[in-house]
A and B are shown apart, each in its own frame.
Chain A
Amino acid sequence: MVVHHQPIPAPPPYVSPEPFAPYGIAAVELSDEKLVVLGQVADDAELRIGTEVEVVLDTLYEDDDHTYVVWKWAPV
């Protein structure tokens, strides 16, 4: 796994929370499927390369009608 920290917001169509919160992005190797998948790090947890993670569903953003969810990576 490779992880990095994004200290400033991406431009739209990224929907930034208000106020903006820095977020981590991890490249995670799935051992059985043998592929690497990018995802945000849930709760901006402090991850290190080699940490085992699992997929969680977390809020991407909300509007008046819906809460949109997305996959994220969280430490096991």
Chain B
Amino acid sequence: MDANLETAQNTSVVRRNLERLYLVSGWLAATCIGLICLLVLIQVSLNAIDRISGLLTGTAIGLTIPSYADFTGFFLAAASFLALAYTLRQGEHIRVTLFLSHCRPKVQHLLDVWGLLMAGGVTLYFSWYTFLLVRESYLYHDLSPGMIAVPIWIPQSAMLLGLIVLAIALIDGLVSTILNGSASVNTEATEHPPCQK
């Protein structure tokens, strides 16, 4: 087989798997948001049943999902971080494109590289210290304060995972920008979808 063709195929396999990684973590995040809604709805229904039974029998049963506020918070953190890479790929993180869009293409390209370098650096640094945080929580058996004490490293790992996928997406964007001369990250973010802001 032609060596060039082989590399092209290899890169497209890598490309496909990377895109799948971003998409899967995006859907994981969406699932977390679905779960938040479900959890809160169940709690609201339990409250309602409680109130009605309180009116009927004079004593509330005290139905409640233990630590549901804690769990909601954990799902929210997981959703926010797991969606980072996917949101980046979709060009939905806000940036100021006012000056960028008036630059010559060559300058724009340089600024893209600079932005991805800076963001990638910050994300790697952030991931490393989040890793240390998770490790510390694990070693010291830190628990969440609620009725159901969850080892805090479990929800924190979702944050770490999201940051690592974001770091991969930024490095991916940096490599493609340098190789292809244009970012595979969607830089056409001036087009603002109506539901967003």
Q: Do A and B bind each other?
A: no
